[in-house]
Amino acid sequence: MPLQNLTIDPQRLWDSLMETAKIGGTPKGGICRLTLTDLDRQMRDWFKARCEALGCTVTIDEVGNMFARRKSRNDNLPPIAMGSHLDTQPTGGKFDGVLGVLGALEAMRTLHDAGYETNAPVEIVNWTNEEGSRFAPAMLASGVFAGVFTPDYAFARADRDGKTFGEELRRIGYNGDAKAGAHEFGAMFELHIEQGPILEDEGRMIGVVQGVQGMRWYEVTVTGQEAHTGATPMRLRKNALVGAARMIERIDAIAREHAPDAVGSVGLIENRPNSRNVIPGEVFFTVDFRHPDESFLDAMETTFRASLAEISQPLQLAYTETRIWNSPPVKFSADLIDCVRIGAAKAGFTSRDIISGAGHDAAYIARVAPTTMIFVPCAGGISHNEAESTSLDECAAGAQVLLNAVLEFDRRLG
């Protein structure tokens, strides 16, 4: 059957999105479905049943990753995977992660309805704990699959109530027997909302994702001297908050100097003692720098560190700075990117190359298998928010391009 004749059912996809949005649905129209909760189990059960209804075999690995496999002409070939995650933020939207899994389910339903036989097996994947909102860090189980984390590390992660990942995985019955990462992928495609405003701003339907930008996180503590605000002359003050404020302004400037691809933010600040009539003696803050090129991150880091010293000295302040996380830039598979471009063109959608500003399971899977992503717009670029919104047509476009890209890659195996 010609590739262009396989068309997904937009309404069926939308109905699935709206039906599952009730599992953990919030009064404001979002979803609170934290990983390994009873709601997560309910969603997993729903997903498993729908896949088995299509004749797929569902297996689960030791960290709860789910794989729904459809048989093919040559089951000895490594499967073509497509998927994302079903867990959400505490005040998450209806589409982040979920679209990638249910879009893949719709693609699988389309193959099933048409009786289409692929050269290689096709799998849908639900990765456990992508969000990291209950068990840190994010992308935990795809990280185990890719060898970034050990299973024991994952099992020991605890939530704020002291419940561990391993205990909760067993409690909901999704601790599988398969070794994480034991089976090979021929390719992995992840459909996702953009989580940013670029596609909407440019009026493009599809983002052809080239990779994930590098990310570096830092923690800074600025130390001065607490003193009485009324009794200490300005010239004798060692005000840690003044120093931190100048540093924060400089961090913003560093990112702007490396625009358009660089971003930089200070997202968390703690001012001590935080009293209205005490000169601040200590300020703690975090820094997040991102860029798709490692050399630019190096330059930003060098300037940042020099700026801390330059600002602190005349204010008679001390400081400590530590880089706590370094996630290098990820480049996706050129072959899979080409399949997405062809898939978008066959469907007649406008597209543009794009870099992911957020982390995704695909970033870890790219270490062990050819991988890429497909983005669709979201209203205002808003995500991780109950107001997150994507249209029926945009969801359908993403699922259609996903199916087209998978079939294009499968055609090359024939």
Query: What confidence score (pLDDT) does residue 358 get?
Result: 86
| First-to-final CA distance of the chain | 14
Instruction: Tell me the whole-structure pTM to 2 decimals.
Output: 0.85
Report the 3 state secondary structure along 335-377. HHHHHHHHHHHHHCCCEEEEEECCCCHHHHHCCCCCEEEEEEC
Q: Match 């390994």 to its residue by tokens.
A: 36
Task: List the domains of the chain with CATH numbers.
Answer: 3-212+329-411 (3.40.630.10), 214-327 (3.30.70.360)
Question: Up-side HSE of residue 161: CA atoms within 13 Å toward CB?
Answer: 6
Report the candidate in 391, 410, 405 with the shortest Cα–Cα distance to residue 95.
391
Contact 104, 188 (CB under 8 A): no
Contact 18, 81 (CB under 8 A): no
Q: What tens-digit pLDDT sequence spans the chain (414 residues)?
A: 444 479 999 999 999 999 999 999 999 999 999 999 999 999 999 999 999 999 999 999 999 999 999 999 999 999 999 999 999 999 999 999 999 999 999 999 999 999 999 999 999 999 999 998 899 888 999 999 999 999 999 999 999 899 999 999 999 999 999 999 998 999 999 999 999 999 999 999 999 999 999 989 899 999 999 999 999 999 999 999 999 999 999 999 999 999 899 999 998 899 999 999 999 999 999 999 999 999 999 999 999 999 999 999 999 999 999 998 888 899 999 999 999 999 999 999 999 999 998 889 999 999 999 999 999 999 999 999 999 999 999 999 999 999 999 999 999 998
Give the span between the Cα atoms of 122 and 56, in whole angstroms: 9
Query: What confidence score (pLDDT) does residue 1 get?
Result: 41
Q: What are the beta bridge partners of residue 61?
A: 178
Q: What are the beta bridge partners of residue 405?
A: none
Report the amino acid identity of residue 314.
Answer: P
Report the candidate in 411, 413, 400 with the shortest Cα–Cα distance to residue 346.
400
Structure tokens at 82: 């497509």
What are the Cα distances from residue 348, in Å, to 340, 390, 401? 12, 19, 10
Q: What angle do CA 237, 240, 246 make, to 5 degrees?
A: 105
Report the amino acid identity of residue 243.
Answer: G
Give the span between the Cα atoms of 244 and 88, in whole angstroms: 34
Torsion, Cα of 202, 377, 375, 119 (10° steps): -110
Give the span between the Cα atoms of 313 and 133, in whole angstroms: 38
Report the amino acid identity of residue 191.
Answer: L
Per-residue DSSP letter, 333: -
Contact 283, 321 (CB under 8 A): no
pLDDT in tens, 253-270: 999 999 899 999 998 899
Query: What confidence score (pLDDT) does residue 160 get?
Result: 85
CB atoms within 10 A of CB 195: 20
Per-residue DSSP letter, 75: T
| DSSP state letters, 125-190 | EE-TTSS-SSSSSSSHHHHHHTTSS-HHHHHH-B-TTS-BHHHHHHHTT---SBPTT-S--SEEEE
Structure tokens at 2: 């010609």
Give the span between the Cα atoms of 342 and 339, in whole angstroms: 5
The three-state secondary structure class of 313 is: helix
Give the span between the Cα atoms of 43 and 34, in whole angstroms: 11
Report the chain's C-alpha Rg in angstroms: 24
